[in-house]
Every structure is written in structure tokens, then in C-alpha cells.
Amino acid sequence: MSSLKTQLLRRKPISLEPEHPHGEELSRTLTTFQLTMFGVGATVGTGIFFVLSHAIPKAGPAVIISFILAAICAGLSALCYAELSSAIPASGSTYSYTYHALGELAAIVIAGCVLLEYGVSTSAVAVGWSGYFNELLHNLFGFSLPTALSTSFVPGIDGEPTGGIVNLPAIVLVLLCMVLLIRGASESAKVNAAMVLIKLGVLTLFIVIGFSAFNADHFSNFFGQAGGISAAAGTIFFSFIGLDAVATAGEEVKDPQKALPRAIIAALIIVSSFYILVALAGLAAKPAEFFGTEAAGEAGLAKILQDVTGTPVWSTILAAGAVISIFSVTLVCLYGQTRILFSIARDGFVPKRFLDVNPRTMTPVYNTVVVGLIVAVIAGFVPSDYLWDTVSIGTLMAFSFVAVSVIVLRRRHPDLERSFKVPLYPVVPILSIAACVYIVSGLAAITWAIFGSWILLVVAYYWFYGRRRATLNHSPSEQELAASALASRETK
């Protein structure tokens, strides 16, 4: 086995990425449109249906600046993702890029980030979905699930008892998504695309009705809470996870070198436009103080429509659209989690059982079931208060490492085929890193503590288990492959 320092710093040769044993391959069935809908599906919904009530109390009306800042940061990162995905279309996304560019230890840290990012985000969205589900039940049938069955027993960050036992709707949602993913990626993509179109439709409805109640006074003292802009942007940034989710489909999309960058950039444009318009419409209809109330925390957008129109009809339509379409967020985030774990297993850091692909559906069934059950438990028993910022820090770290990887691979592999290249290189990657650092600096100390503890746990796992079973322990190094290629050319 190689020396410890060499092992921690060794990079996975890019030439090994397409070479996978039979049975460790996924089927290429996704189109560019379906992939774009994956990105929109994993993004629009998380930031709009739920996060307004978490972000506006931090920044007030200036949350619009927070959304723009998060969108700019995500846009810079999207360009970096587009370049890397066109050069290395692997299912591991950020994890795989980091392994190729920065080495094994950095890849393990990022593996921890993205597993946290996807696992917790899926749980957080499922918890928020439960609120809209209850709102829909109340509007349609006049009853809601009791608190005991729709709220975790764990107190929120305010320390107040919840009166609940388990968030049953959240658990059921995750398990339904798990079953759908087991049936196949193509089937999941078709369902997701339909749900995304419903989602964009109900959000357009909200924008139109929200602006019809425009009140300029709601934007007075616009910068009164300007000190919370970066903190709010950090909370919002979690919802841009969909851009990374697109890249996790690198081994299941047709013509990945062209489809991946196109889907990433198209998803970013759609997502950013809807985020900013919905935030503006929400503040146009309601003062910033409303978003800090309990009413805004559960199905807030539906309640705004009901207050503006004076009838529950439109709020019921929005709640129904949210219940249907937020399913797609959970679906795609769960999908991304399983595909990244698939790549990690391929590199030997988790048991090979996670690589088992069903020959009929061409999906990693065992992998999907394990992930689904763990995420369902988190969704059922952990309040969303603890989840939002934890996902943001994982996403921001992943986006930062992607930008660094672009710079490193440009220097180490200048001749690597790239169908898309980051414009204004190296300004864009550097700005991407700076924007991520600025946003992450505004996150709370408790978020850093949770994140640091998780990364230490991941590194400890790698130290005692993963590094001894790494696939590269039995594979040629970059130097050996380069020497072999040189010798081959000289003999010709």
C-alpha cells in the first residue's frame, strides 16, 4: 500500500473514469430537457415554498438582495459545473471532480459535504411538504392531521415543546420517492418533468396575484436589516442544490458532453428568475414582519393568496400544486444522493453492495433503499429549523471546490477535451470562490459546529475503513499511466 501522504494526496486518473466493470454501469436514457427539469425540479420549490419564512426575518425587504447574491454565486458556480461536467461526465458530480483534481483526502471531505447536502435537503423539503399537505387537507376536507402525527417530538431552535411525536407525511413522501426511483431513472424523469410544469404554473399564479396587491410601504426601510443579507443568502443558497443534481446524472444522460452544460445553465436561468419574482410578489403582498410569524412558517404562500383574494380557492390551488410539485424536489434530491453514493462505492470507500444494479430497471436498488430509509427517519424526527443552514454550508463548500477544481484541471490537464469552457477564466472561478466564502461567513456558529462534527466523523470513517479499501490501492497512478502512454507512443 502507498505511503500515507501519497495516498491522501493521490488523484484519480481521469482516464479511469469511463472504465467500469460490467454490472457497475447505469443506462443512458435521459434527454437534455429531462435533465433541465431535474435541475429545476430539485431547486424551485425548496427556496420559494419554504425558505422565505426563514430568510426574510433575517434581512427584511433586503432579502431581494440576498436572492440576487445567491443567484450570482450560483451562476458563477454553474459555469464551473458546466465545464467540468462536459469534461468528466461522472455520476459523482462534485465528489468525482474533486477526486480527479485535488486528491483523495479532499474528495472524502467533499463526499461528506454532498452526502450531508443531499440527505439533509431531502429531509428538509419533506418536512416542509408536510405543512402544505395539511393545508390542502384542511381546505378540501375541513380537517388536518393531528400535531402528534405531523410534527416531530424534537423541540425547534426556540426550545418550545412541539406536542408532536412523528412527522408521518414526511416519512411517507420519502418512501414514495424511493419506490419511484427503484422503478428507473427514465420513469422518474418523466414524472419529475410533469411535476415541474405544474410547479411553475402555480408559482406564476402566485406572482400575478401577489403583484395585484402591491404595497410600496412593504419596501420602506429597505436596508433596515442589511446586516442580515449574507445570513439570509446563506439560508437561501441551500435551494440551489439542483444545479449539482444535474451533474449527478452524468452517466445516465445521452450525449453528456453537450447535454450537461446546457441543462445546468438553462436550469439556473429558470430558477433564478422565479426565485426573485416570487420573493418580490410575496413582499409586495405582505410586510416583512408577516414572514416571521407561525402562519408564514407553514404553507406561507398559500396563506398569502387566501389573505389577498379573500377566498380559499386560489390558496387551495397553490397548496395542491405545492403538494404535487414539491414531490419532485424530494425525488431529485434523493436521486442525487444515491448516484453520488454509487460513485463513492465504485471508488471503494463504502461497501460494494451499493454498486448492485438491477438488470431489469438498471437502478442501484440496495443503495436507494438504504438512503431512502435513513432520509425518512431524519424527515420524521428532525425539525426543519436544524436542517436549512446545514444544507447551505455543504452546498457552498461543494461549489467552492468545483471552482478550485476548474483552475487545477486547467493547469494539470490543459489538453482535456472540454465542449464548454468557463468564460473570462480565471476571473469567474475566483469570483465563485469569493462569493461562496462571503455567504458562508454569515452562517451561524451552531451550523459550523454541526458541519465540523460531521466532517470529522467522515474523515474518521475514511481513516479506519475507507482508505484501506480504496480502489486506487490496486490501480495504476497518474504517473504510471502517463509513462505507459508515453512508452506506447514511442513504440509506434
pLDDT tens string, the chain, 492 residues long: the values are 458 788 888 998 887 655 555 445 566 777 888 888 878 877 776 556 667 777 888 888 888 998 888 888 888 888 898 888 888 877 778 898 999 999 999 999 999 988 887 888 788 778 877 877 887 888 788 888 887 887 777 776 666 766 778 888 889 889 988 988 888 766 777 787 888 888 888 889 889 998 988 888 888 888 888 888 888 887 777 667 667 777 777 677 787 778 888 888 888 888 888 888 988 998 888 888 888 776 666 557 778 888 888 888 887 887 787 777 778 778 878 888 888 888 899 899 999 888 888 888 788 889 999 999 998 998 888 776 666 667 778 888 888 999 999 999 999 999 888 888 898 889 999 999 998 888 788 777 888 888 889 999 999 999 999 888 898 888 665 555 445 444 444 454
Q: What secondary structure letter does DSSP report for 225?
A: T
Whole-angstrom Cα distance, residue 445 to residue 440? 11
| Set of cell numbers at residue 200 | 411553475
In this structure, are residues 328 and 242 in contact, taking their beta carbons and an 8 Å threshold? no
In this structure, are residues 352 and 345 in contact, taking their beta carbons and an 8 Å threshold? yes
- Residue 158's Cβ-count burial label (10 Å; 0-12, 13-18, 19+) is exposed
Q: Work out the angle at residue 118's Cα, subtended by the Cα atoms of residues 293 and 404, and round it to the nearest 5 degrees.
A: 110
Q: Which string of b and e fits 457-481 if b means at least 16 CB within 10 Å?
A: ebeebbeeebbeebebeebeebeee
In this structure, are residues 253 and 260 in contact, taking their beta carbons and an 8 Å threshold? yes
Q: What secondary structure letter does DSSP report for 368?
A: H
Q: Where are the alpha helices (DSSP H) in 4-159?
A: 4-9, 32-43, 52-59, 63-87, 94-101, 104-141, 147-150
In this structure, are residues 128 and 238 in contact, taking their beta carbons and an 8 Å threshold? no
Q: What secondary structure letter does DSSP report for 165?
A: B
Whole-angstrom Cα distance, residue 131 to residue 193? 23
Angle between helices 229-237 and 52-59 (to 10 degrees): 170
Distance of CA 113 to the CA centre of its chain: 11
Closest CA to 323 of 172, 146, 151: 172
Which residue type, as a one-letter code, is found at position 302?
A
Query: Which residues, listed in sequence order, are joined to residue 165 by a DSSP beta bridge?
Result: 152
Q: Which long-range contacts (CB under 8 A, 24 or more apart) does 138-146 make?
A: 139/312, 139/315, 139/316, 139/319, 140/316, 145/169
For residue 122, give every residue at least 6 positions away whose Cβ sits within 8 Å of its Cβ, in sequence order, or none.
174, 177, 330, 333, 334, 337, 375, 379
Q: What is the pLDDT of residue 485?
A: 42
| Set of cell numbers at residue 79 | 459555469
In this structure, are residues 99 and 107 in contact, taking their beta carbons and an 8 Å threshold? yes
Angle between helices 388-412 and 94-101 (to 10 degrees): 40
| Set of cell numbers at residue 288 | 416583512
Which residue type, as a one-letter code, is found at position 109?
V
| Set of cell numbers at residue 316 | 387551495
| Set of cell numbers at residue 218 | 412593504
- Residue 421's Cβ-count burial label (10 Å; 0-12, 13-18, 19+) is middle
Cα-Cα-Cα-Cα dihedral of 234, 240, 243, 244, to 10°? Answer: 50
Whole-angstrom Cα distance, residue 181 to residue 187? 8
In this structure, are residues 371 and 364 in contact, taking their beta carbons and an 8 Å threshold? no
Closest CA to 247 of 236, 262, 233: 262
Task: Write the CA distances from 288 to 32, 93, 218, 225, integer angstroms.
Answer: 39, 37, 7, 11
How many CB atoms are located within 10 Å of the residue 141 CB?
A: 8
Q: How many helices (H) and strands (E) does the chain have?
A: 20, 0
| Set of cell numbers at residue 129 | 411538504
Q: What secondary structure letter does DSSP report for 93?
A: T
